[in-house]
Amino acid sequence: DGIRREVQTMSLTDHPNLLKAHCSFTNDHSLWVVMPYMAGGSCLHIMKSAYAEGFEEPVIATLLREVLKALVYLHSHGHIHRDVK
C-alpha cells in the first residue's frame, strides 16, 4: 500500500527535479510503474561511466542544491521522502 501511495505522489508532482510516474499497473501480483525513458541512464550509471574519479566539489554542490529544491517542493506539498540516496 505504501508503494502505491508513493506512485500516486509521483504521478501528481510537477517539478523539474522529480521523475514523474506516467501510470502504474499490476500483473501477476507484481506492481509495474511506467516512468519516462532516461536516455543517459540512471544517475549512478552516469556517475560510474563518465566520472569514475568522482565529481569536483562545485558539481557536488550544484547536485545537492537541485536535490534540496526537489525536497523543498515535496515538503511544501505535504510529502516526505524517506529514501534519499
Q: What is the DSSP secondary structure assignment for residue 82, as one 8-state letter?
A: S
> 35 near 20, Cβ under 8 Å?
yes
> 4 near 21, Cβ under 8 Å?
no
Amino acid letter at 45?
H
Catalytic residue among 1, 14, 28, 83: 83
Per the annotation, the verdict on 83 as an active-site residue is yes
Active site residues: 83
